[in-house]
Structure 1
Amino acid sequence: MQFGIFTVGDITTDPTTGRTPSEHERIKAAIALATKAEEIGLDVFALGEHHNPPFHPSSPTTLLGNIAARTERIILSTATTLITTNDPVKIAEDYSVLQHVADGRVDLMLGRGNTGPVYPWFGKDIRDGISLAVENYALLRRLWREPVVDWEGRFRTPLQGFTLAPQPLDGVPPFVWHGSIRSPEIAEQAAFYGDGFFHNNIFWPMSHTRQMVNLYRRRFEHHGHGPADTAIVGLGGQFFMRRNSQDAVREFRPYFDNAPVYGHGPSLEEFSAQTPLTVGSPQQVIERTLSFRDQVGDYQRQLFLVDHAGLPLATVLEQLDLLGEILPTLREGFAQGRPAHVPEAPTHASLVAASRQASVAAPVGLDDVTGRSPYAEAGEAR
């Protein structure tokens, strides 16, 4: 079980002081959070992608490359890579380079993005969001797996004799998670390819999360990748901890009440009851997080959003210290009763080993897991 944190890189005024951090401060804060995450023993640091104020992560690979140079162990991921508005050729290049820089400590989460104006800024139409996600990812997979690509599709100019440079490290592309809150088509896409499915799990009731994850699991099994309970699942989550639960509620309330996303709506108590947000003591965070497994089954990755809504860096670092304290208990709790056949989250080392086995077992050009063409059912452009 992997544990980590993610940031969306928002630049939000602290409602208790009226101070708004600069872009420079927030960029440096992301680096500080990543290095702190490794220090306390977390497995993953993930960074969002946004191209509009009030966010800063418009170039995730630049920032993650800097973090790679400052860390040794932690996996560097994206909390969203916009598969819809980014050119898949550039995604393939950028993340291949990052993979080499980080010695394989890289995966990425693909998403459609939920900011409408971004689409026309990059020459796209938000009404094509799902189609763009399907076609662009089909091309991205080929770019990472085939030495020469000839391709023609609907949304970009054709490719003739294109060879990716550099090639993925050890010939193995970064592992891909498909992130979605509400789109069953994305759960189906993840299941078809046998990739991971990540549900953000911070704004909706757990009943909705359970439905989306169960859909992905059923389709994963349908497409021949293995039993449903072996599908690769990740969840988001968010908390605010203090030793005393009353202190946590009192301190976090003004940040919640004024947060750009959920402020001025349901009360903190209502939102906490309806979603996985946990504001309270470390023990309450432990119990709430461990309960996620009751809803979605054994899963592979748990990421927490901790640095949003204007929380100052010093406070966020304190949150990470508390997370580090309860991390062994969380690991132990998720390990108890976990069936032996449920896989761990993929790493570069495990993917390299699987690739070597698959190259012997499956003919060239067929899917590593099922032994059939990845285009057999999807009908993607080739």
Structure 2
Amino acid sequence: MQFGVFTVGDVTKDPVSGKTLTEGERIQQMVTVALKAEEVGLDVFATGEHHNPPFVPSSPTTLLGFIAAKTSKILLSTSTTLITTNDPVKIAEDYAMLQHLAEGRVDLMMGRGNTGPVYPWFGQDIRNGIHLAIENYALLRRLWREDVVSWEGKFRTPLEGFTSTPRPLDGVPPFVWHGSIRSPEIAEQAAYYGDGFFHNNIFWPADHTARLIQHYRSRFEHYGHGAADQAIVGLGGQVFMRKNSQDARSEYRPYFDHSPIYGGGPSMEETMEQTPLAVGSPQEIIDRTMTFREKFGDYQRQLFIADHAGLPLKTVLEQMDILGSEVVPVLRKEFDALRPAHVPEAPTHESLKAAAERAASLESVSPEAVGLEGTR
């Protein structure tokens, strides 16, 4: 089970101090959070991709490449790579380059984003969103798996004898999660390829999330990748913790009320009841997170949003300390004890490389040798 944090990189006024960070300060804050995540023993740091104010992470590979140079263990990912508006050729090149620089500590999450105007900014039509996601990803897979690609589709110019460089590290492409909060077509896409499915269930009630995950699991099995409970699932969430729940809720309330995500909607208590938002003591966070397994089955990755709504860096780092020392160690132990032996762990570069080597070894054994082996 992997635990980590993700950022959406919003530049939001602190409603308590009244301070708003500059873009440069916010970018440096994200780097500090990533380094802290490794320090406290988390497994994953992920960044979103946005191309509009008040967000700053418009170039995830630049940010993650910088963090890769300053870390040695933590896995670097995206909490959305826009498969719809980025050229799949550029995605193939950028993330293969990052994979080499980070020595394999890279995977990524494909998504369509939540900002409609981004489509015309990059020359696309939002009405083609699902079709772009399907076509672009099909091309991306070929670019990573075939040395020379000739291809023609609907949404970009054809390719003739094209080789994407650099090639994936060790010939093993980065693992891909497909992120969606409402589209069964994306869950279907993840299942078809045997990729991971990530439901960033910040806003959604559990029954909605469960239906989409169950669709992915059943189709994963349908396409022959394994049993439904062996499908690779990730979940999002958000927490805010203090020693006791009263202090946590009192301190977090102004940030919730002015949040670009939550502000102006249901109250904090209503949101906590209806979504995975958890504000309270470390034990309350543990108890709430453990209910995810009951509702959605065994899963492989849990990411918490760490640093949004203008929270001061000092507070964010305190949250990371609590996650690393009091919450995640307990969750790891509990989830690992409950996970059946046949349910896989989250893929890593090392596990994917080992699987590729095993497959190559089996392919190298001639049918005659297999037959002779069977007679001994």
Could you say whether these structures have the same fold, taking a TM-score greater than 0.5 normalized by the shorter chain as the test? Answer: yes
Correspondence for 1:366 = none
Q: Does 1:34 align with 2:37?
A: no
Deviation of 1:358 after TM superposition, in Å, equals 2.2
Provide the residue aligned with 2:45 in structure 1.
45
1:361, CA displacement in angstroms?
4.2
Amino acid at match of 1:338: R
Match for residue 181 of structure 2?
Answer: 181
Task: Provide the alpha-carbon RMSD of the alignment.
Answer: 0.9
Q: State the partner residue of 1:371.
A: none
Q: Deviations over 1:260-293 (max 9, x none)?
A: 1221211110000000100000000000001100
Q: Deviations over 1:50-73 (max 9, x none)?
A: 000000000000010000000000
| 1:153 is the counterpart of 2:160 | no
Alignment match, 1:339: 340
Separation in 2 of the partners of 1:62 and 1:214?
A: 35
Match of 1:301 in 2: 301
SS of the residue corresponding to residue 247 of structure 2 reads helix
Q: What's 2:320 paired with?
A: 320
Residues 86-165 of structure 1 aligned to structure 2 (within 5 Å): 86-165=86-165
Q: How many Å separate the matches in 1 of 2:301 and 2:50?
A: 23
State the alpha-carbon separation in 2 of the partners of residues 360 and 133 from structure 1. 34
Amino acid at match of 1:141: R
Structure 1 Cα separation of the partners of residues 253 and 94 of structure 2? 40
Q: Percent of aligned pairs with the same residue?
A: 72
Equivalent position SS for 1:336:
helix
Match of 1:292 in 2: 292
Distance in 2, Cα, partners of 1:36 & 1:337:
28
1:293-349 CA distances to partner (integer Å, 9 max, x unpaired)? Answer: 001111000000011111111100000001012221111111122100000000000
- Give the Å deviation of 1:89: 0.1
Unaligned runs of 5+ in 2: 365-376
> Which amino acid in the other structure matches residue 95 of structure 1?
Y
Give 1:98's aligned amino acid: L
Q: Distance in 1 between matches of 2:362 and 2:303?
A: 34
Paired amino acid for 1:89: V
Deviation at 1:362, TM superposition (A): 5.8
1:17 CA displacement: 1.7
AA partner of residue 146 (structure 1) = E
Which amino acid letter does the alignment assign opposite residue 121 of structure 1?
W
What is the DSSP-based 3-state SS (H/G/I as helix, E as strand, rest coil) of the residue aligned with 1:217? helix
- Secondary structure of the equivalent of 1:86? coil
Deviations 1:58-106 (A, max 9, x none): 0000010000000000000000000000000000000000000000000
- Once the two structures are TM-superposed, the CA of residue 359 in structure 1 deviates from its matched residue by 2.7
Q: What letter matches 1:242 in structure 2?
A: R
- Give the TM-score taking structure 1 as reference length: 0.94
Name the counterpart of 1:248. Answer: 248
Aligned residue number for residue 231 of structure 1 = 231
Q: Please show how residues 257-272 of structure 1 align to structure 2 within 5 Å.
A: 257-272=257-272
Q: Residue type matched to 2:94 in 1?
A: D
5+ residue gaps, structure 1, are: 364-382
Q: Distance in 2 between matches of 1:188 and 1:360?
A: 31
Number of residue pairs aligned between Structure 1 and Structure 2: 363
Change (3 A) 1:129 1:361: farther
Q: Structure 1 CA distance, aligned partners of 2:299 and 2:194?
A: 15
- 1:45, 1:341 → 2: CA distance? 27
Mapped to 2, the partners of 1:250 and 1:35 lie a distance apart of 28
Amino acid at match of 1:23: E
Distance 1:214 1:359 in 2: 32
* Secondary structure class of the residue paired with 2:347: coil
Distance 1:232 1:313 in 2: 33
Q: 2:330 aligned with 1:329, yes or no?
A: yes
Where does residue 85 of structure 2 map in the other structure?
A: 85
Distance (Å, rounded) in 2 between the aligned partners of 1:259 and 1:160: 48
SS at match of 1:120: helix
SS at match of 1:116: coil
Q: Which residue identity lines up with residue 18 of structure 2 in the other structure?
A: G
Report the 3-state secondary structure (helix = DSSP H, G, I; strand = E; otherwise coil) of the residue aligned with 2:9: coil
Give the whole-Å Cα distance in 2 for the aligned partners of 1:218 and 1:358. 25
Amino acid at match of 2:182: R
User: Partners of 1:162 and 1:44 in 2: how far apart?
Assistant: 33
Amino acid corresponding to residue 357 of structure 2 in structure 1: R
Q: 1:21-63 CA deviation, whole Å, 9 max, x = no partner?
A: 1100110011100110000000000010000000000000001
TM-score of the two chains, using structure 2 as the length reference: 0.95
